[in-house]
Amino acid sequence: MGGPSLMTADIPRAVRSPVDPETLAQFSSSNGLYHCLFAEQFDRPIIERLIKLTDHLRALTKTKAGDDFVASVLSNKRAMLYFSQPSTRTFLSFQNACHILGMNTCEIRDPRTSSQMKGESFEDTIRTFASYVDLIIIRHFENGFAEHAARTLQGTHRPVPIINAGAGTYQHPTQALLDVYTMNRYLPGGIDGKTLMLVGDLQRGRTVRSLALMMRNYKDVRILFVSPPQFRMMPDILGALKDSGISYEETEDFEGALAQADTVYMTRVQDEHDTAGESRTVDIGRYCLRPEHLRFMKKSSIILHPLPRRDEIHPDVDADPRAAYWRQERNGLWTRAALMAVTLGIENILLERKA
């Protein structure tokens, strides 16, 4: 990470969900989205709009004429990718989504190259970025970082949109969006009434936190939290699900959960958040998906993973038709393009163009 830590009372030092309605309203606009900071900003109508636009974008760009049209609509806009945490997939996904929409991009991937190393405040840094670009996409190791950036720009002469591309252990809303899109695309009949199995380091995994919160938009969904005792899902998420009437169960029975699941969502150990190497004391081996486990699964189920993976999914599983994680990764490109199109107000322009 390398840069100075952002020490401010405005940054929450502990995770907390759900986000209160007043905060959500502050970061929304008449079209439903302005800043994209939390999974809670996505209600069912917005999700369905984004799914429709994602499918339309994919169809439009299959031809050169359609692709050229899409790339012309935002050709006068610029985006900043401020990724102070290591990233391959999310960075490339956002960068290429910007290019699909015709936006030029600039980037900072190491805070040591910014003026914060000279003592510039975080607030001045964000206002500097906003002076040059029309959209800022932020990935950071601290919880609440993107939210604080959005608050910093409120009331300034250039309150450009902020998109949270992953913050600490707290939120990863665009990953949850692409996960929902993937589940809706490949599960027979969609997500309603299905069972979602979340596996691994649930305590510190921002992807599973955001996805669990997103499930509150669907009917009769059931969630199986499968993890070692040390990596159980945090109480704030469990409380939010309970308040929303979402059925869930915490279990260490990996094989038993596989037989019930429509979606098997594997994750890696988030040891970058260790404080004293504590992950080494946790036995994660029996929570890894291997070819011999496939016989327990439904024929209609799908396997997802936010990637990168280590040994949570054996490479031989890739050949199984239920393994959808490489398609899931590809879907991120299109869902993020659709999200930015809505954020920047060109949704209708794209939908009016026939594929």
139 is catalytic: yes
157 is catalytic: no
Given 54, 61, 90, 263, the catalytic residue: 90
Q: Which amino acid, residue 22? A: E
Q: Which amino acid, residue 20? A: D
Given 77, 139, 206, 268, the catalytic residue: 139
78 is catalytic: no
293 is catalytic: no
| Percent helix, percent strand, percent coil in the chain, to nearest 5 | 45, 15, 40
Instruction: Report d(CA 290, CA 268) in Å as an integer.
Output: 14
Q: Cβ atoms within 10 A of the Cβ of 89, count?
A: 14
Given 148, 172, 206, 268, the catalytic residue: 172
Nearest CA-CA partner of 193 in 243, 258, 246, 259: 246
What interhelical angle do 145-153 and 122-132 show, nearest 10?
Answer: 70
Given 64, 88, 118, 275, the catalytic residue: 118
268 is catalytic: no
- Residue 15 gets the label, from left (phi > 0), alpha (psi -120 to 50) or beta, of beta
Q: Is the dihedral of CA 41, 187, 166, 94 positive or negative?
A: negative
Sort 110 into a burial class: Cβ within 10 Å, 0-12 / 13-18 / 19+. Answer: middle
Instruction: Report d(CA 22, CA 26) in Å as an integer.
Output: 6
Residues assigned a catalytic role: 89-90, 118, 139, 172
